[in-house]
Amino acid sequence: AQHKRYSIATIPGDGIGKEVIPVGQRAAEAVAAKHGFALEWTRFDWSCERYEKTGRMMPEDGIEQVKAHDAIYLGAVGWPGVPDHVSLWGLLIPLRRELDQYANVRPVRLLRGVSSPLANRRPEEIDFIVVRENVEGEYSEIGGRLYRGTADEVAVQEAVFTRRGVDRIMDYAFTLARGRKRKHVASATKSNGIVHTMPFWDERFEAAKKRFPDVETAQYHIDILTAHFVQHPDWFDVVVGSNLFGDILSDLGPAVAGSIGIAPAANINPEGAYPSMFEPVHGSAPDIAGQGIANPVAAVWTAAMMLDHLGEVQAARTLEEAIEISLERPQSRTRDLGGTADTKASEAAILDAIHSL
Ligand code: NAI
Ligand code: MG
């Protein structure tokens, strides 16, 4: 039979992005060979380095160039000397918005061999997914400032919640929960203080419950929800939040599961009208870039999310299992996890584990 082939646009970006993305590619290649499919990679040098040479993070037709691929695999962008809003608004935000990647998905799982900053937690007690609305909500450009520099100075920023936008992120979260063992969705709200958009969010959550009667639910105000993440991480299965609340929860979540060096993320266009984009949670880490000591696990786990999205579910599971096997051995853990391994040693342990499975 003809092997399935997937074409992947890779954007390693800056700093350790360029060190960990190739590791993720080699690990994905190893499971592809095992599970009988092929990956074709096209590399794009879009980065702050490119910005400094050309004045643009990506070419003008950049979005068109990546549209033709099945998925995008991105390291991190950002580098000292280039303001962070340039790398964000010149690359990440246009990709997420123009490719309609409206669901930002971050799994939070305590892996075997990793210790949580929360005391005495076992892996089965921390296993949930944060789903963040990724294209509307509080992060809007509508608003303005008046009377600058005077005692009457005013700043106004509008939040935008649409029925279509809220319903589709609810559908994504509930569908995800339906495919999991616990089938539970918790919604982040603040309808006691934010009296227009958040009651609307709650109404659309109620409507979603009726569409998914088999899924259990809970609803918390964002303030107490952050406390529950720390005190009761075992309560959560799928957590859905607006752009702002989801942003906060999706950094807090990976923090309770150990190091930022292991946390994966995806920007999903669930309809498949455009390619989805997979990127580790961490940035370019200028403080350790070039030393060969970055933890490649986040990039490898991110590659597993990409394979899962492409429909190669078994290959994704193999990759995740290989990561956990590698982390069980202290000498294969990088320094951010309290080990001594460099990037190469961590990669070697992951590849060994893949071959052993
Ligand atoms: P960062 O995630 O790059 O680094 C934070 C700390 O975590 C540093 O001490 C770093 O050494 C450590 N760290 C991160 N990833 C690691 C890994 N894989 N292994 C071992 N240690 C790791 O966040 P920071 O310093 O706030 O940002 C640096 C640059 O990255 C900035 O320009 C920022 O804008 C950009 N950034 C880009 C993101 C993206 O492209 N999605 C996400 C976050 C930051
Ligand atoms: Mg964030």
- Domain membership flag for residue 111: no
Ligand nearest to the CA of 16: 1
Domain boundary among 221, 237, 257: 257
pLDDT at 357: 92
- Domain membership flag for residue 308: yes
164, with CB counted inside 10 A (0-12, 13-18, 19+), is exposed
- Domain membership flag for residue 109: no
Confidence category of residue 1, pLDDT binned at 50, 70, 90: low
- Domain membership flag for residue 87: yes
Q: Does the C-beta of 14 come closer than 6 Å to ligand 1?
A: no
Ligand nearest to the CA of 130: 2
Give how far the C-alpha of residue 336 lies from the chain's centroid of Cα atoms, to the nearest Å: 19
pTM exceeds 0.90 for this model: yes
* 267/11 Cα distance (integer angstroms): 14
Over residues 334-350, the mean pLDDT reads 96
Residues 67 and 49 in one domain: yes
Q: Which residues lie closer than 8 Å to 315 by C-beta, 6 or more apart? A: 31, 32, 34, 35, 37, 304, 307
Name the least confident of 62-76, 92-106, 211-225, 248-262: 248-262
| Paired residues of 157 in beta bridges | 143
Residues 251 and 276 in one domain: no
Residues 97 and 129 in one domain: no
Residues 191 and 225 in one domain: yes
Q: In Å, how far are 22, 172, 255 from 17, measured between CA atoms?
A: 9, 29, 20
| Paired residues of 144 in beta bridges | 156
Condensed to tens digits (0 to 9), the pLDDT of residues 267-294 reads 999 999 999 999 999 999 999 999 999 9
| Nearest of 46, 67, 68 to residue 57 by alpha carbon | 46
Number of separate domains in the chain = 2
Q: Does the C-beta of 353 come closer than 6 Å to ligand 1?
A: no
Condensed to tens digits (0 to 9), the pLDDT of residues 302-311 reads 999 999 999 9
Q: Does the C-beta of 298 come closer than 6 Å to ligand 1?
A: yes
CB 239 within 8 A of CB 106: no
Q: Ligand 1 mean position to 67 CA, how many Å?
A: 27
Q: Does the C-beta of 297 come closer than 6 Å to ligand 1?
A: no
Residues 21 and 67 in one domain: yes
- Domain membership flag for residue 322: yes
Candidate of 16, 93, 284 to mutate for ligand 1, largest count of ligand atoms within 8 Å of Cβ: 284
Atom index in ligand 1 nearest the CA of residue 75 equals 40
Q: How high is the ipTM of this complex?
A: 0.98
Q: Is the pLDDT of residue 140 over 90?
A: no
pLDDT at 331: 93
User: The domain spanning residue 162 has which CATH number?
Assistant: 3.40.718.10
3-state secondary structure of 315: helix
Residues 159 and 232 in one domain: yes
pLDDT at 341: 97
93, with CB counted inside 10 A (0-12, 13-18, 19+), is middle
Residues 127 and 48 in one domain: no
3-state secondary structure of 132: strand
Confidence category of residue 197, pLDDT binned at 50, 70, 90: very high
Q: Is the pLDDT of residue 2 over 80?
A: no
Domain boundary among 209, 228, 257: 257
Beta strands in the chain (DSSP E): 4-13, 37-43, 71-76, 103-109, 127-133, 143-146, 154-157, 184-189, 216-221, 238-241, 264-268, 276-280
Atom index in ligand 1 nearest the CA of residue 77 equals 40
Residues 246 and 272 in one domain: no
Alpha helices in 36-60 (DSSP H): 48-54
pLDDT at 141: 86
> By percentage, how much of the chain surpasses pLDDT 90?
92
Q: Is the pLDDT of residue 149 over 90?
A: yes
Candidate of 260, 333, 337 to mutate for ligand 1, largest count of ligand atoms within 8 Å of Cβ: 260
Condensed to tens digits (0 to 9), the pLDDT of residues 49-106 reads 999 999 999 999 999 999 999 999 999 999 999 999 999 989 998 999 999 999 999 9
- Domain membership flag for residue 337: yes
Q: Which residues lie closer than 8 Å to 206 by C-beta, 6 or more apart? A: none
Note the maximum CA span of the chain: 74
Residues 2 and 42 in one domain: yes
Residues 134 and 229 in one domain: yes
User: How many CB atoms are closer than 10 A to CB 219?
Assistant: 17
Q: Does the C-beta of 103 come closer than 6 Å to ligand 1?
A: no
Residues 344 and 278 in one domain: yes
- Domain membership flag for residue 174: yes
* 254/338 Cα distance (integer angstroms): 17
- The radius of gyration computed from the CA coordinates of the chain, to the nearest angstrom, equals 20
- Residue 194 belongs to domain spanning: 116-257
Residues 236 and 284 in one domain: no
pLDDT at 3: 79
Domain boundary among 257, 288, 307: 257
